[in-house]
Amino acid sequence: MVLVRNSHKHRDTIYRSTGVLSTGSREFTFPVDSTVESLMVSITLQCLQSIAVIRPSNTEAGAGEPNVDDNRFKSGAILIVNKPEAGTWKVRIAGIGLFFVVAQAKSDIALNRVEFVEPRGRQGHEGYFSVQRPLHMGETHILLVKVDAPPGETKFRLIDSAGETLEPVVMTPVDDNGDKREFSSTFALKHSAFRVAVEGRDEAGYAYQRVLTRLIQVHPPNVEQ
């Protein structure tokens, strides 16, 4: 119910990682920029021992603070922090088993559209439209990305389900006027599953990151081609 009540308020994903913790502990880091009005950190771990969410000032966010809604469960936690401190946040977990760590934000910076497109349309009405067929390894496609973000250097990369970088992607500006920005890139698919992440700096100079929530699935090579 906590997720149901708050997910629609935190539409932008800053960080997402899933995997298996075999033993001991692990630390995750992600940037929180100055445009973030509210931060929601969701953590689950099968056999949980401890969870800590730590601000850039190296203080732990938790229950009893006026700007923190701290919800603890047997196998996880959901923390909602209003007006979070800008900078690098950390999540530390200890235990064993399958884990999920997700940081979501209410913010003006957003990754609005991520899709593979192709030129289609009847004569005189040509344009780029979403690829409707399954994606296959080895195919070359056009990736179109729309971002709401301040002007400045913008970097893109493909990441795996654990949040680790698979490869950087050089995106060419299509429409780079103001805060509504559009980029494209043409490249061959060589990863079976990935997300797209965008990085830059806000107007105050703090690093921002936004991540595509869904995992893009790519099928094995199409032997019929």
For residue 164, what is the domain's CATH number?
2.60.40
Give me the chain's average pLDDT, please: 92
User: Strand pairing of 180-188 and 172-177?
Assistant: antiparallel
Q: Are residues 78 and 25 in the same domain?
A: yes
Contacts of 16 (CB under 8 A, 6+ apart): 101, 102, 103, 163, 195, 211, 213
Structural domain boundaries enclosing 162: 110-217
Same-domain pairing of 169 and 81: no
Query: What average pLDDT does this structure show over 158-167?
Result: 97
Lowest mean pLDDT among 7-16, 97-106, 187-196, 201-210: 7-16
Is residue 146 domain-shared with residue 203, that is, in the same domain?
yes
- Is residue 44 over pLDDT 90? yes
Exposed, middle or buried: residue 146 (CB in 10 Å: 0-12, 13-18, 19+)? middle
Model pLDDT for residues 5-14, shown as the tens digit of each residue: 777 889 999 9
Measured between alpha carbons, how far is 176 from 101 in angstroms, rounded to an integer? 32
Q: Which phi and psi (to 5°) does residue 2 adopt?
A: -60, -45
In a domain, 224, yes or no: no
In this prediction, residue 162 carries a pLDDT of: 96
Is there a contact between 43 and 101 (Cβ–Cβ < 8 Å)? Answer: yes
- Condensed to tens digits (0 to 9), the pLDDT of residues 101-130 reads 999 999 999 999 999 998 876 666 567 789
